[in-house]
Amino acid sequence: SQQGEEDPQALSIQEGENATMNCSYKTSINNLQWYRQNSGRGLVHLILIRSNEREKHSGRLRVTLDTSKKSSSLLITASRAADTASYFCATDPSSGSARQLTFGSGTQLTVLP
Amino acid sequence: KAGVTQTPRYLIKTRGQQVTLSCSPISGHRSVSWYQQTPGQGLQFLFEYFSETQRNKGNFPGRFSGRQFSNSRSEMNVSTLELGDSALYLCASSRNRDNTGELFFGEGSRLTVL
């Protein structure tokens, strides 16, 4: 079963606007990652934030993490039509060494030109 | 540097058959994970291998199995296929031995079971 829930499930905005997606998770984490997926393709890593970090930036992306609320948000600024894709948060557990990401349900972002 | 390569990209099978999917990780990556993606269940972890050892397995029946070779290439096998096994199967590799750092995904193998 999925650990995370993402909100909203779908988001439609105009080019140039900002897009905000939220993610909630259930268990302790080592880090939280955001991935992007174009329709039917593989996932592309966007950004990783560690459990001891609160905010991280990468280009037009800004990620926040609130471990007390077990939530994260991804902000895409000045969106472009090419940003149209599904976005997933994924958590890496705080215990153990094996890799096992637990993915959220995803947000389908549509950026209208 | 070449990315993660999955073969075949598309395949169609009938119920009861078996299928083998292949994954070649990025050179130097020793961790390989497999995920199943369906519209209903989303992305679900299947198993992870490191240096030919299965370190973790998701909540899937024994019909789902995998292995990793000494060159880090990995295969997964699904026996006695069911309609519900239709999915996009994604392979991912990682440089790190532990659970830090990002995963690099392949384009996936889309399996359709008729």
Q: Does B111 lie at the interface with A, CB-CB under 8 angstroms?
A: no
pLDDT at A98: 63
* Amino acid sitting at position B68: Q
| Residue % of chain A over a pLDDT of 90 | 76
**CA dist B45 → A62, A64, B17, B57, B103 (Å):** 27, 25, 22, 8, 13
Query: How far off is chain B from A71, nearest CA to CA, in Å?
Result: 19
Quick: pLDDT tens for B11-66: 999 999 999 999 999 999 999 999 999 998 999 999 999 999 999 899 999 999 99
User: Average per-residue pLDDT in chain B?
Assistant: 94
Q: Does A88 lie at the interface with B, CB-CB under 8 angstroms?
A: yes
Give the span between the Cα atoms of B22 and B91, in whole angstroms.
9
**Which ranges constitute the DSSP H helices of A1-113?**
none
**Residues 6 or more apart in contact with residue A34 via CB below 8 angstroms:** A23, A45, A46, A47, A48, A61, A63, A72, A74, A87, A88, A89, A90
pLDDT at A70: 95
Query: Is there a contact between B98 and A41 if contact means CB atoms under 8 Å apart?
Result: no
pLDDT at position A1 over 60? no
* Best residue in B26, B49, B88, B102 for a mutation probing chain A (most A CBs within 10 Å): B102
**Minimum-distance CB partner of A45 among B55, B103, B110:** B103
Q: Does A87 lie at the interface with B, CB-CB under 8 angstroms?
A: no
Burial class (CB in 10 A: 0-12, 13-18, 19+), B83: exposed
pLDDT at position A19 over 50? yes
Of all residues in chain A, the one with the smallest CA distance to B58 is A100
- Cβ atoms of residues A2 and A104 within 8 Å: yes
pLDDT at A6: 86
pLDDT at B49: 93
**CA dist A8 → A107, B15, B59 (Å):** 6, 36, 27
Quick: pLDDT tens for A30-75: 899 999 999 889 999 999 999 999 999 999 999 999 999 999 999 9
Q: Does A97 lie at the interface with B, CB-CB under 8 angstroms?
A: yes
pLDDT at position A3 over 60? no
Sorting pLDDT into bands at 50, 70 and 90, what band is B101? Answer: confident
Cβ neighbours of A43 in B, within 8 Å: 90, 92, 103, 105
Nearest alpha-carbon partner for A87 in A2, A11, A3: A11
Sorting pLDDT into bands at 50, 70 and 90, what band is B95? Answer: confident
At A2, list the tokens.
Answer: 């999925």
pLDDT at A40: 82
Quick: pLDDT tens for A73-84: 999 999 999 999
